[in-house]
Amino acid sequence: MATNGSGDDVEQQEWIHFNSVLRTFQNYKLESLERVYRSEQYLNQLPEYHQEWLQSYRSDLQIIKRCIEHNSSIIDIMTKEAPSMFENVRAVDANISSASYGTVGEVLAEGVDKVQATLKQLARDWSSMGAVERSQCYQPIIEEIERKFLNNAIDPSQIKILVPGSGLGRLTYEIASRGFVCQGNEYNLFMLIVSFFVLNRCTELNSFTIYPWVQQHVNNLSVKHQTAAVTFPDISPNSISGKSSGFSMAAGDFLEVYKEEQVWDCVATCFFIDCAHNIVAFIETIYKILKHGGYWINLGPLLYHYSGAQSQPSIEPSFEAVKKAISCVGFIMEKCDTRVKSRYCQNPASMLQYEYDSVFFVCRKL
């Protein structure tokens, strides 16, 4: 394809990527089942008495396959309307059903991992099972926003808050449901498609069931933990649409979408700033788009998402170095807590538990 940078080329690239994401969703079942078939094949090659001793494991694999098939049926529902979601994405050929998305766009590498990450994010953001993580990660941010902006002198509907890297949108929703104008920004189409479904198409409380950890084949005390069911949404969809008129989502790269200076009263980032190639570019943009007197509230670790990727540029400054950059950009750090216990998309029953000692800080642009 020609890449002369014209608008048409960009639109074409976006369309191809969109189709690839849909194909990757669609490929979830095949790829996930193949992983189970491989275990079954190896099991079949073991000495007969080993197979005999492992009979319960063989039946566990049947349960796992049924959970994968169920997840796939929910994915079909969630992606059904995706082709008409974005104005800026050319609709996929109307004759093509959700079972076959056009001829353009390949299944993405790490496809099943991306789908699984989205399912786990559904548990974090929109299920009662995610309540503990949300209270660790979102609650400190929400309480800080309430302390700064919820008082008699301020009408929250006049306060504009941006949540870059908003994932499936729960933090954005929680802030908007407190009366603020709140926009989530996200560039990952897996997240955008599923958040669109939850926020616009779910009609009943806990009406959908998924098995978010079914691909987690290791560190299970029992198959029940691998096949734990999670229902969503955990709050009434009516309250999602009714309580949050100030809610919006903007698709695209944070650094590209937000160029206008001095627009936002607050920028709230949760597990986001370490998604940058260059963290200073994120900090600088946050500073520019905040109004004078505005706040940047952040919670998260410094996992640096591109750190392990050979083909991607990455720097990994320590928090001490990041703090210096924050000050050089012009922020005053008003509050800084370290070792804030926070988990991210964890299966609470797994034998392996990751817990971050995150940083939580509040900065002000004077």
Ligand X SMILES: C[S@@+](CC[C@H](N)C(=O)[O-])C[C@H]1O[C@@H](n2cnc3c(N)ncnc32)[C@H](O)[C@@H]1O
Residues that bind ligand X (CB under 6 A): 124, 137, 164-167, 185-188, 191, 253-255, 270-272, 275
Q: Which residue is closest to ligand X by CB? A: 165
The residue whose two tokens read 């369309």 is 15
Q: How far is the CB of 153 from ligand X (least distance, A)?
A: 30
- Per-position DSSP letters for 269-322, written without gaps between them: EES-GGG-SSHHHHHHHHHHHEEEEEEEEEEE----TTTT-TTS------HHHH
Question: Residue 257 in contact with residue 250, Cβ under 8 Å?
Answer: yes
Q: How far is the CB of 85 from ligand X (least distance, A)?
A: 16
The residue whose two tokens read 């979102």 is 138
Rounded distance, CA 227 to CA 223, Å?
6
Rounded distance, CA 351 to CA 98, Å?
37
Nearer Cβ to ligand X (228/270): 270
Q: How far is the CB of 188 from ligand X (least distance, A)?
A: 3
Nearer Cβ to ligand X (29/120): 120
Rounded distance, CA 42 to CA 75, Å?
29
Task: Give the distance between the most distant pair of CA atoms in the chain.
Answer: 76
- Per-position DSSP letters for 188-217, written without gaps between them: -HHHHHHHHHHHHH--STT-EEE-TTTT--
Nearer Cβ to ligand X (250/349): 250
Q: How far is the CB of 151 from ligand X (least distance, A)?
A: 26
Closest CA to 83 of 5, 23, 141: 23
Nearer Cβ to ligand X (253/337): 253
Q: How far is the CB of 192 from ligand X (least distance, A)?
A: 9
Beta strand ranges found along the chain (DSSP E): 160-164, 181-186, 208-210, 230-232, 247-251, 264-270, 290-300, 331-342, 356-365
Q: How far is the CB of 303 from ligand X (least distance, A)?
A: 8
Closest CA to 21 of 241, 225, 177, 251: 251
Nearer Cβ to ligand X (69/316): 316
Q: How far is the CB of 335 from ligand X (least distance, A)?
A: 19
Q: How far is the CB of 66 from ligand X (least distance, A)?
A: 28
Two tokens, residue 163: 């949540």
Nearer Cβ to ligand X (104/303): 303
Nearer Cβ to ligand X (140/220): 140
Nearer Cβ to ligand X (179/184): 184
